[in-house]
Amino acid sequence: MRADLICGPHAVLAALTKNPARIEGVWLSTGRRDARGAEVERAARAAGAPVHRVERDELDVMAPGLRHQGVVARLRPGAAAGAPSFEEFLTHLPERPLLLVLDGVQDPHNLGACLRSAGAAGAHAVIVPKDNSAPLSAVARKSASGAAETVPLFRVTNLARALDALKDAGVWLVGASHDAEKTLYETDLTPPAALVLGGEGKGLRRLTRERCDILARIPMAGTVGSLNVSVAAGICLFEAVRQRRGPR
């Protein structure tokens, strides 16, 4: 899947607003003359990105199989260059970080949805293994609905070592597991924390599980015994948000 494209008006507008220097150009369908399309065009011109009006068929060829809604942006080659590394991020952790670790999420829709939940919850970063994760493709970016441009995503070569580094930095590792004794709602998420979730179907891998300081489960109330990973991520993140805000 193309990793140099951003599709859809919301995701493209977020990229133009948050990281305009990364955008090489914007392509708009000739039929996209609504207010949202005009907003994207204004943002592109303000960012100095060339705007191309083309037929929708041309966008279909440019972004095959992607739901672009008549709006496509292309990232500059090496657009990620200059972004902080995971090691640099660790040296500048916020006072009470909230992080999301995804151990082997393979579906780009799920990766994007997890990024979206992380962005909505104010998480400081998402961390994934370099070789066992969905790419940040155009599909993932669109599912993220703009969060791919605002939430740092770190791809680490060795997830187990990255988790050790987080622990050394004082971050509490909370793993989500269906067979945990404690529920998520019995778990203190107010300290510096990384919520660790496994991939689709397999859950946490052994080395990842062993490094967690505590395991917690989301209690099920019905007959279905599991949740989609992006749904589980949202529940975990917003439980942390609820606890950190305190009683109201």
Annotated binding residues for S-adenosyl-L-methionine, written as ranges, equal 198, 218, 227
How, if at all, do strands 193-198 and 98-103 pair?
A: parallel
Structural Rg of the chain based on CA atoms: 19
- Nearest residue to 153 (alpha-carbon basis) of 192, 75, 199, 100: 100
- Which stretches of the chain are DSSP H helices? 9-18, 35-46, 56-62, 86-91, 108-121, 138-144, 159-168, 206-211, 229-245
Helices and strands: H and E segment counts in the chain: 9, 11
Q: Could you tell me the strand order of the sheet in which 182-183 lies?
A: 153-156, 125-129, 98-103, 193-198, 172-176, 214-217, 182-183
Annotated binding residues, written as ranges, equal 198, 218, 227
Read off φ and ψ for residue 114, nearest 5 degrees. -65, -40
C-alpha to C-alpha distance for 238 and 229, rounded to whole angstroms: 14
